[in-house]
């Protein structure tokens, strides 16, 4: 049953809890889900999403917090599952408006604290450290963190006891039987919860299209070892700066083959420092040196851990590929390993970096031609195991595009869960759960809020469309001065950006000036002067001419200056 309003039905006799995704269901990233009981609300995660090619100039995308903020008096806390940006990156924007406590494991909070300090919120944020199996209470909810493994250390799922039953949220997870830190997923606790009764399971859908089990992180190091030993030059390995276990293996390999390691990229330096200080990263003695010292060694003794695995412009790896880094130059014999999965949409950007590295003489390994990476997300058999352990009454796929959510829903049905107990929802919808029933609700305010510099939400679809038009077709500025009768006193003067190269197009510009002058000359001289009408005539004349000549439709910006009569 689908309602069109998030208001509870007047006659509903059973108390109910609601799960309301503000992001992450229908896209990769932007993860945030509300758990609501009466007027009490907590949020699971508060993540951002990075812009795509259709969002020129945008820095980040964050969820629409309006529904949570409308519950301000009952908004109790944010509970974080792990420290990736798509789960913690929007915290500064939320905490400016709602001063709620934030719960998370030590590494997760340390990474979030860095983000908050960058926004000037470090001193006032209430960060509450928790550990797996240590329960805590927030309003009507009793919350228990449960250890899971992921591509970042200290990840947790959550068991949330509500007045109508227990909700299990996996967070991002994989079931790694041999994690680098020895902290295996808490299979026993998930099993106990299943035996006690799980009302609803919300489970990560990102890797639902991959059959089998996700390989263990511990398999990556042995696969990389012969590459490190055989490389005739330096080894440059690019990975996510948050992937502490991958970094741990690289540092250990460097020590084993007699190489020294350096860090390249501000986020890599920051995350390594934080993880080492908190004891999540064990740095072999004498291996990690400043970049300048490592760069002075023979190439065969160097290992460089770099950011930029997604080919981001101005990232460390992109600068190396462009030959623009001041300390390191790619040379023949160097081995570059991109030890990360390409985020959908980044394939072309990564491909350009790889081509540039090959041109400089490096050998390049990535997931397409070598085993250099394992995913942090559960594959089909792992997802089935999570369903089997928890045995939920209701199942809600989370975290993924619609195809992932649908695939996970079908997987649950194939594993024996009755289809009517599989609830497929996206952002803007919610699930209302009682002890005996579940229904899908619609009509919750959600959306993508765009962050551009210090502006939050002030760039909308109209501005984005203008930016796209400017990028696609360019702009022509036409400036002229007219008197009150509408007669041209000066101009028209033209400036073109992204349409034609002005210095080589004087004939065309003269033709455009003539078209503008003719359009204005045909105006009824008896008609009263109307600036908007004159601007429309100018705009139409310029666009018609350029479209006839080039089949282009640039933005035309008329600047009309009215000159008072003299004397």
Q: Return the active site residues.
A: 204, 377
Closest CA to 105 of 121, 127, 137, 77: 127
Residues 222-244: b if buried by 16+ CB within 10 A, e if exposed: ebbeebbeebebbbbbbbbbbbb
Residue whose C-alpha is closest to residue 203's, from 387, 432, 393: 387
> Rounded to an integer, what distance in angstroms lies between the CA atom of residue 191 and that of residue 500?
67
What residue spans of 100-232 are helical by DSSP H? 106-118, 187-196, 220-230
- Count the Cβ atoms, other than its own, within 10 Å of residue 251: 21
CB 476 within 8 A of CB 546: yes
* Distance between CA atoms of residues 397 and 190, nearest Å: 17
Q: Report which DSSP code applies to 283.
A: P
Phi then psi for residue 179, to 5 deg, are -70, 155
Q: Which tokens is 503 given?
A: 């210095």
Q: Look at residues 97, 96, 94, 98 and name the one whose alpha carbon lies nearest to residue 76.
A: 98
Q: Distance between CA atoms of 8 and 90, rounded to whole angstroms?
A: 29
Are 88 and 115 spatial neighbours (Cβ–Cβ below 8 Å)? yes
Q: Which two tokens stand for residue 127?
A: 């960060």
Residue 306 pairs with which residues in a beta bridge?
238, 264
Longest dimension (CA), the chain: 95
Cα torsion through 238, 243, 247, 248, rounded to 10: -160
- Across the beta sheet with 335-338, the strand order is 260-264, 302-306, 235-238, 335-338, 363-365
Q: For the sheet containing 488-497, what is the strand order?
A: 488-497, 475-482, 555-562
Altogether, the residues listed in the chain come to a count of 567
Q: Give CA separation, 483 vs 6, 353, 426, 470, in Å.
A: 58, 56, 58, 31
DSSP letter at 33 equals: E
């Amino acid at each position: 049953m689908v309602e069109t309003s998030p208001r509870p039905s007047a006659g509903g006799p059973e108390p109910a809890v609601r799960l309301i995704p503000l992001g992450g269901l229908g896209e990769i990233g932007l993860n945030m889900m509300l758990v609501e009981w009466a007027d009490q609300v907590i949020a699971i995660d508060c993540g951002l999403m990075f812009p795509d090619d259709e969002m020129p100039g945008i820095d980040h995308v964050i969820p629409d917090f309006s529904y949570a903020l409308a519950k301000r008096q009952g908004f109790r806390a944010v509970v974080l599952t792990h420290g990736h940006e798509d789960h913690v990156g929007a915290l500064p924007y939320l905490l400016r408006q709602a001063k709620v406590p934030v719960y998370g494991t030590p590494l997760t909070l340390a990474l979030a604290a860095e983000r908050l300090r960058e926004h000037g919120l470090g001193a006032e944020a209430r960060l509450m450290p928790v550990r797996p199996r240590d329960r805590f209470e927030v309003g009507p909810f009793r919350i228990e963190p449960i250890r899971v493994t992921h591509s970042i250390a200290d990840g947790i799922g959550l068991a949330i006891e509500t007045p109508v039953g227990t909700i299990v949220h996996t967070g991002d997870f994989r079931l790694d039987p041999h994690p680098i830190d020895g902290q295996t997923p808490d299979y026993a606790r998930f099993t106990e919860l299943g035996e006690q009764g799980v009302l609803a399971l919300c489970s990560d859908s990102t890797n639902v299209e991959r059959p089998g089990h996700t390989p263990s992180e511990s398999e990556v190091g042995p696969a990389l070892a012969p590459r490190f030993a055989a490389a005739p030059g330096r080894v440059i390995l690019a990975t996510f700066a948050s992937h502490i276990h991958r970094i741990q293996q690289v540092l250990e390999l460097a020590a084993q083959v007699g190489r020294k390691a350096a860090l390249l990229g501000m986020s890599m330096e920051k995350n390594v420092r934080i993880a080492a200080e908190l004891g999540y990263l064990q740095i072999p003695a004498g291996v990690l040196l400043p970049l300048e010292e490592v760069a002075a060694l023979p190439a065969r003794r160097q290992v460089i851990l770099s950011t930029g695995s997604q080919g981001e412009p101005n990232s460390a790896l992109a600068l190396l590929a462009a030959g623009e880094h001041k300390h390191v130059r790619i040379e023949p014999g160097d081995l570059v390993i991109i030890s990360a999965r390409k985020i959908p949409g980044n394939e072309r950007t990564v491909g350009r970096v790889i081509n540039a590295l090959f041109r400089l003489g490096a050998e390049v390994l990535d997931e397409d031609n070598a085993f250099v990476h394992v995913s942090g997300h559960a594959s089909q058999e792992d997802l089935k195991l999570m369903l089997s352990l928890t045995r939920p009454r209701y199942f809600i796929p989370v975290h993924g595009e619609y195809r992932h959510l649908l695939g996970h829903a079908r997987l649950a049905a194939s594993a024996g869960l009755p289809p009517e107990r599989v609830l497929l929802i996206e952002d803007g919808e919610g699930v209302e759960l009682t002890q005996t029933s579940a229904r899908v609700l619609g009509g919750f305010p959600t959306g993508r809020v765009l962050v551009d510099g210090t502006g939050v939400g002030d760039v909308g679809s109209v501005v984005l469309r203008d930016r796209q038009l400017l990028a696609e077709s360019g702009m022509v500025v036409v400036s002229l001065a007219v008197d009150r009768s509408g007669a041209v006193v000066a101009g028209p003067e033209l400036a073109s950006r992204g349409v034609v190269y002005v210095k080589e197009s004087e004939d065309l510009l003269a033709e455009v000036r003539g078209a503008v002058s003719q359009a204005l000359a045909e105006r009824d001289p008896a008609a009263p002067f109307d600036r908007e009408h004159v601007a429309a005539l100018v705009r139409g004349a310029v666009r018609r001419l350029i479209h006839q000549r080039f089949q282009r439709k640039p933005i035309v910006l008329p600047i009309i200056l009215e000159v008072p009569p003299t004397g």
